[in-house]
């Protein structure tokens, strides 16, 4: 073969065929990948969000996207079971402000400054001016604030545009920590729950414990049931409460690891207030961390089933509430499929399958009360949604309040 020259070389394939040998058509074999190329969970999350949220939020999405990928802002929830006054003074020295108190103060200022509504005769009632209408709306808003949010919660944040960080909390002489660092927007569902003295309260998906701790700060829970289906997360919840709550108070808390979807059957028609902070795509975590990322390929089916799981958990919360009781549903996702659509479906199923009527409450006053701290989405059909924004990089947090009809 090596001795072939000239024309004989050009006839090599035919010559090989004549010798009974297969022609050599390719210098290299074609190879096909046995598996799909590896794409990180973070990249998959961003691809999913770009495809869906660019449609949902339009021109707002680029700003939200940048904020999700930027450092998150935190708030310091003051522990009322520690030296709360001393802790508050220390936080104020850092130029942080209690956003709940500041909102209450602003609402009271509106109420004091607004004119008293005049009693008008039927024949001589003048046309109400726009400024008077605005004053009446502001007065209604301030009165709603005083009667419709959970009391005694103090949370310090830095002002918009200030990216300062809080130092880690220090224990007092008894080993109790002075404050708990969390996304301040995650307190809004607890404030919306409007816990009142003597209430029986259920936190259906309680771990890791920030909202449970906030509920205890109100001092209003006659009994608090804190549940999470994961035993390891329930243990984490126990550790959080041990670091912040005295033993005599922790006896009023029952921690369980039951399947929350069955709570309506276990303790139906029982609770005055129910918080349903469901598992979700945890959008900020999904674009920042590979560990425990729901967009991992191995968790595809789990992610696809999230809306069904969320609906069943909310339905269980509605059934666990007594008639006249209030339920707050919340997520840390921007997705309509996990937010408004879940609420609509749960309300429909409660009425058609369980003959339970549910009223979705208006929380639009939260937007005006806390606009100096958070950036709200103006076009939310049900409930309220806090959008991440570079000047106020909290959230995302969605929350919706429902009342079970008597």
Q: Closest by alpha carbon to 370, among 80, 147, 157, 76?
A: 157
- Tokens found for residue 129: 């001016």
Using CA atoms, how far apart are residues 379 and 385, in angstroms rounded to an integer? 9
User: Which residue has tokens 């008077």?
Assistant: 132
SS3 of residue 157 by DSSP? strand
- Catalytic site residue 155? no
Which of the 8 DSSP states describes residue 127? P
- Tokens found for residue 361: 């409450």
SS3 of residue 402 by DSSP? strand
- Catalytic entry in 205, 280, 332, 400: 332
- Residue 118: C-alpha distances to residues 114, 125, 128, 135 (Å): 12, 10, 10, 12
The continuous run of DSSP H or E covering 302 comes out as: helix 300-304
SS3 of residue 403 by DSSP? strand
DSSP for 32-78, written as a single string: --SSPPP--HHHHHHHHHHHHHHHHHGGGHHHHHHHHTSPPP-EEEE
Residues assigned a catalytic role: 332
């Amino acid at each position: 073969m090596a001795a072939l020259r000239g024309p004989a070389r050009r006839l090599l394939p035919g010559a090989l065929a004549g010798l009974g040998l297969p022609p050599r058509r390719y210098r290299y074999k074609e190879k096909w990948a046995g598996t799909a190329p590896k794409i990180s969970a973070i990249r998959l999350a961003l691809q999913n969000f770009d495809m869906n949220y660019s449609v949902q939020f339009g021109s707002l999405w680029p700003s939200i996207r940048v904020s999700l990928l930027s450092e998150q802002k935190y708030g310091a929830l003051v522990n009322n079971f520690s030296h709360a006054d001393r802790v508050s003074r220390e936080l104020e020295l850092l130029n942080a402000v209690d956003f709940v108190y500041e909102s209450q103060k602003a609402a009271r200022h509106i109420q004091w400054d607004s004119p008293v509504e005049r009693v008008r005769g039927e024949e001589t009632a003048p046309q109400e001016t726009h400024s008077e209408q605005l004053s009446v709306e502001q007065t209604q808003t301030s009165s709603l604030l005083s009667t419709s949010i959970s009391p005694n919660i103090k949370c310090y944040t830095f002002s918009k545009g200030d990216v300062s960080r809080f130092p880690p909390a220090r224990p007092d002489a008894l080993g109790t920590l002075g404050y708990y660092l969390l996304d301040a927007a995650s307190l809004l569902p607890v404030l919306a729950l409007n816990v009142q003295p003597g209430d029986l309260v259920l936190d259906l998906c309680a771990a890791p414990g920030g909202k449970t701790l906030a509920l205890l700060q109100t001092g209003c829970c006659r009994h608090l049931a804190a549940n999470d289906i994961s035993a390891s997360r329930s243990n984490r919840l126990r550790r959080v409460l041990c670091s912040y709550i005295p033993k005599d108070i922790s006896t009023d808390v029952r921690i369980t690891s039951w399947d929350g979807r069955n709570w309506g059957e276990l303790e139906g028609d029982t609770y005055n207030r129910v918080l349903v902070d469901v598992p979700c795509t945890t959008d900020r975590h999904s674009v920042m961390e590979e560990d425990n990322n729901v967009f991992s390929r191995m968790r595809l089916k789990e992610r696809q089933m999230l809306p069904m799981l969320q609906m069943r958990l909310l339905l269980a919360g509605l059934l666990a509430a007594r008639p006249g009781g209030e339920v707050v549903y919340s997520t840390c996702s921007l997705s309509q499929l996990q937010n408004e659509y879940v609420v609509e479906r749960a309300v429909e199923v409660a009425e058609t399958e369980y003959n339970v009527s549910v009223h979705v409450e208006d929380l639009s006053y939260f937007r005006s009360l806390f606009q100096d701290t958070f950036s709200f989405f103006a076009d939310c059909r049900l409930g309220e949604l806090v959008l991440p924004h570079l000047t106020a990089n909290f959230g995302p947090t969605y929350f919706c309040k429902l009342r079970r009809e008597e």
